[in-house]
Structure formats: structure tokens, C-alpha cells
């Protein structure tokens, strides 16, 4: 935790000076995820969406404001005016005014139903945050896997370039002495150039992945991130028996399913609100009239409401009913989609895991030792260039298969967590 905090502080510091210098930061997967959760602007923006929804709940709790109306104020008098009692001293005998306060009373539980609807919307925004987090975590983890994969490939090619450069330099000397043919030297030099070209291609891929990772972590452009973890395979053994459990867990945990279920609740509550809206609201009023009535200083009460003769909100009610059916279908579709995704990803993971079991733990070490042995024998001319090149191709191919298996297994495992909707 302390290391993560220090990294976060360093990021803020290097953000100030990134215009002058480029920085290399080493971090583990866990540290990258901690920084991602703290810094990612998409997550921050989605959290603000929740706050906005909560503000709408607060707004829904307020009653409509009362309306104050002042009218019939005269600025002059007519010749046949009926005098009124003075208001202040001798002033006000010819003054007329009418005032009214009106308060709308929502009927049929409209206010309560609207508050409940807005609370459901808050839950919806929370599920949206979970969905954004699920998508971004998958992107982050797969990007880190790609970076680790390319880091290992770079190490492999850098090692081969270092070795073959020494061999090429030695063969160049032998060529100048006339001890070997130019064809042998050219063959070796061509292999060196091919490796260097592949290394450049790998570095270009890493730059693309760096852009993705830095965008997720909100790092300065000149920062270079190195993932310090070893590139290993997931240790979790998966069983066919767990498949049904994951399918059930997905129904409870997958944000896209929770979102559509929440939309069902929202549609149901909206139908209740639309049914309530066909009942007219009441407007209660109290008014005061001075000089405009047969009674002096008249105070009266009033009530008003719409007569539901033409508009009984039938169209909106019908639309709300159809929305319920639509959201139910969306939920069923997402559940079926999750079942298919989980089954497919599980089979891919198990199939790749079986290949990984065929790779002995010491196999990589054996390959490395054999390569050293072949390089030594080739340098001593105990084996031909054809034999050396043939083994070099075999070595690169096998190392690539091992790295591909590690990458695929990590990606399938992350995809499995993604389709289940939780970390396994």
C-alpha cells in the first residue's frame, strides 16, 4: 500500500516536469489497478453521474412552490369611485387590490412514485459504473498481459541479437582472412537483420500498448511504464462442475444483466406513475379582494382541477406497458448471451490449459541451455550453419509457442472473469 501511495505521488510530481523529461516507472499489476481505480477519468465521470441521479432524488422530494398572484391594482381613481376605509392615515381610501395564493396538491401518490422512480435511477447509475469498471478492468488487464508478452519477446530477441552480433563480427573477421565463404557471412548477417527488424516491430507494438495503458492510468505522455511482474500462467484450475455456478452468479453479478433488470423495475414504476398522472391534481387557493367585491376586504377560498374528459394519459400508459415487455426481453437476451459467453470462454480456457500442462516446467530452461550449447558448438565449428540456423528457428518457434500459451491463458482467464461479472 505504501509503495502504491509513493507511486501516485511520483505520478503527480512527474506530471509537473513531464515537459522537460521522460520517466520510466516500474509497477506491478496490483499497483497498476490501484492507480487505475484512483485516477481513471471515465470512472470519475461515471461516479458524478451517480451524484447527479442522487440530486434528482433530492429534487423529486420537494413540493411544488405556491403561486402568489397580485392583480386589480389601480394607479389612479375614477370620478365615481366608491371610497374604502383608509389604510395608512388618510391614504388608501381610493386604493384597490386583489391577491391570491395557490398551492398545487399532487394526488394519487404522484410525488412518492416519482421519488421511488428516481431512486431506481440511482441504482441504474451504480450498475452503469460497475459496467464501465468491468469493461475498463478487462481492457487494463489484457493490455498489461500484452505488455508482459511483448517484454518477454523483446528480451528473447535482444538476447539473440546480442549473440548473433558477436557471431557476425567473428565471421566478418574470418571472411576478411579468407577462412569462410561470403555466403556463410551473408546468411548470418541476414538473420541478424531479421531479428532487429522483428525487435523494432515489437517496440512499435509496445508503444501502442503504452498509449492505451497511460490513457487508462492518466499518466503523462513522456512516461514509460514497465510491468515488473513475471509473465506466468494463471494457477487456478477450473472444473466443469463450476460452470453452472458461474452461470447463476452471472445472473446476480453481471452489470449488464443488473442494468436491464433495473430497467424492468424502472419501467414498472413508470407505469404506476403514468396511471397516477391520469388523476388530476388539485389546486387550493385563498384570496383577498379590496374594493372589487360587494364585500369590503373580502377573503375567499378556492379549488381547481382539470376535468379528465379528453386526456386520460392513455398513450403514455400504453407506452409504459410496452416498455416493460421490451426490458423483459432485453433481460432474457442478456442472460442467454451470458450463458453462451461463459460456456465458450470456459472451453477456450480449458483447451489452452491442457496445452500448458504439456509444457514441462523445466522445458524453457532446457531450451535455453540447448541454445547456449548450439552457439558454442557453432562457434567452435562442431556443427554446420544449417544445423545452427535450424535449431535457432526451432528455439524461437518453441519460445513463441510458450509465450503465446501464457498470453492466451491469461486473456481467457480475464475474459472468464469478465463474462461471469466478478473476480474468480
| All domains of the chain in start order, with CATH | 1-63+111-231 (1.20.1600.10)
For the chain, the straight-line distance linking the first and the last C-alpha, in angstroms and rounded, comes to 22
Burial class (CB in 10 A: 0-12, 13-18, 19+), 258: buried
Mind listing the pLDDT tens digit for each residue in 129-184?
999 999 999 999 999 999 999 999 999 999 999 999 998 898 888 888 888 888 88
**Ranked by mean pLDDT, which of 241-245, 250-254, 328-332 comes out on top?**
328-332
Residue 268 has pLDDT above 90, yes or no: yes
User: How far is the C-alpha of 57 from the C-alpha of 90, rounded, in Å?
Assistant: 53
pTM (two decimals): 0.82
Question: What confidence score (pLDDT) does residue 12 get?
Answer: 46
H/E segment holding residue 223: strand 223-227
User: How far is the C-alpha of 245 from the C-alpha of 225, rounded, in Å?
Assistant: 38
The C-alpha angle 170, 172, 173, rounded to 5 degrees, equals 65
- Percent of the chain topping pLDDT 70: 95
- Residue 227 β-bridge partners: 27
Question: What confidence score (pLDDT) does residue 18 get?
Answer: 40
* Mean pLDDT of the region 381-394: 90
Strand order in the sheet with 282-290: 67-71, 97-105, 282-290, 298-304
Lowest mean pLDDT among 9-13, 80-84, 222-226, 357-361: 9-13
Mind listing the pLDDT tens digit for each residue in 11-25?
444 443 343 345 889
Is residue 394 within 8 Å of 368, Cβ to Cβ?
no
Residue 89 or residue 313, greater confidence: 313
- Percent of the chain topping pLDDT 90: 64
The number of CA neighbours under 13 Å toward the Cβ of 346 is 20
Question: What confidence score (pLDDT) does residue 365 get?
Answer: 87
Helix (H, G, I), strand (E, B) or coil at 148: helix
Is residue 200 within 8 Å of 158, Cβ to Cβ?
no
Question: What confidence score (pLDDT) does residue 22 get?
Answer: 58
Burial class (CB in 10 A: 0-12, 13-18, 19+), 372: exposed
Is residue 107 within 8 Å of 308, Cβ to Cβ?
no
The sign of the CA dihedral 28, 34, 35, 36 is positive
- Residue 405 β-bridge partners: none
* Mean pLDDT of the region 215-243: 86
Residue 92 or residue 250, greater confidence: 250
Residue 51's pLDDT band, with cuts at 50, 70 and 90, is very high
Q: What is the largest CA-CA distance in the chain?
A: 135
Mean pLDDT value across the chain: 88
Residue 381 or residue 285, greater confidence: 285
* Mean pLDDT of the region 283-303: 89
What residues have CB less than 8 Å from 347, skipping those under 6 apart? none
Mind listing the pLDDT tens digit for each residue in 319-335?
999 999 999 999 999 99
Residue 49 or residue 236, greater confidence: 49
Amino acid at each position: 500500500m505504501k509503495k502504491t501511495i509513493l507511486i501516485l505521488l511520483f505520478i503527480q510530481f512527474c506530471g509537473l516536469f513531464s515537459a522537460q523529461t521522460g520517466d520510466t516507472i516500474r509497477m506491478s499489476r496490483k499497483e497498476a489497478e490501484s492507480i487505475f481505480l484512483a485516477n481513471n477519468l471515465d470512472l470519475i465521470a461515471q461516479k458524478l453521474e451517480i451524484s447527479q441521479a442522487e440530486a434528482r432524488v433530492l429534487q423529486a422530494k420537494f413540493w411544488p412552490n405556491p403561486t402568489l398572484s397580485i392583480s386589480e391594482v389601480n394607479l389612479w381613481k375614477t370620478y365615481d369611485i366608491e371610497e374604502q376605509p383608509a389604510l395608512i392615515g388618510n391614504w388608501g381610501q381610493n386604493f384597490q387590490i386583489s391577491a391570491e395564493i395557490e398551492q398545487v396538491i399532487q394526488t394519487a401518490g404522484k410525488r412518492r412514485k416519482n421519488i421511488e422512480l428516481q431512486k431506481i435511477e440511482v441504482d441504474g447509475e451504480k450498475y452503469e459504473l460497475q459496467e464501465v469498471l468491468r469493461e475498463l478492468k478487462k481492457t487494463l488487464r489484457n493490455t498489461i498481459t500484452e505488455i508482459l508478452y511483448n517484454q518477454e519477446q523483446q528480451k528473447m530477441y535482444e538476447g539473440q541479437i546480442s549473440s548473433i552480433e558477436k557471431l557476425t563480427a567473428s565471421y566478418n573477421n574470418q571472411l576478411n582472412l579468407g577462412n569462410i565463404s561470403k555466403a556463410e557471412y551473408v546468411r548470418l548477417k541476414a538473420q541478424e537483420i531479421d531479428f532487429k527488424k522483428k525487435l523494432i516491430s515489437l517496440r512499435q507494438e509496445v508503444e501502442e500498448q503504452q498509449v492505451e495503458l497511460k490513457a487508462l492510468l492518466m499518466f503523462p505522455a513522456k512516461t514509460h511504464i514497465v510491468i515488473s511482474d513475471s509473465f506466468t500462467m494463471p494457477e487456478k484450475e477450473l472444473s466443469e462442475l463450476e460452470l453452472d455456478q458461474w452461470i447463476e452468479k452471472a445472473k446476480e453479478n453481471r452489470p449488464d444483466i443488473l442494468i436491464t433488470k433495473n430497467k424492468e423495475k424502472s419501467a414498472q414504476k413508470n407505469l404506476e406513475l403514468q396511471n397516477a398522472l391520469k388523476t388530476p391534481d388539485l389546486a387550493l387557493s385563498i384570496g383577498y379582494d379590496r374594493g372589487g367585491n360587494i364585500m369590503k376586504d373580502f377573503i375567499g377560498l378556492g379549488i381547481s382541477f382539470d376535468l379528465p374528459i379528453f386526456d386520460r394519459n392513455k398513450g403514455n400508459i400504453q407506452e409504459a406497458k410496452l416498455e416493460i415487455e421490451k426490458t423483459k426481453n432485453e433481460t432474457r437476451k442478456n442472460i442467454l448471451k451470458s450463458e453462451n459467453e461463459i460456456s465458450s470462454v470456459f472451453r477456450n480456457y480449458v483447451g489452452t490449459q491442457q496445452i500448458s500442462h504439456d509444457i514441462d516446467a523445466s522445458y524453457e530452461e532446457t531450451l535455453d541451455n540447448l541454445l547456449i550449447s548450439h552457439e558454442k558448438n557453432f562457434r567452435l565449428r562442431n556443427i554446420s550453419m544449417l544445423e545452427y540456423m535450424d535449431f535457432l528457428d526451432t528455439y524461437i518457434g518453441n519460445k513463441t509457442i510458450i509465450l503465446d500459451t501464457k498470453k492466451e491463458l491469461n486473456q481467457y482467464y480475464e475474459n472468464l472473469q469478465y463474462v461471469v461479472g466478478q473476480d474468480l
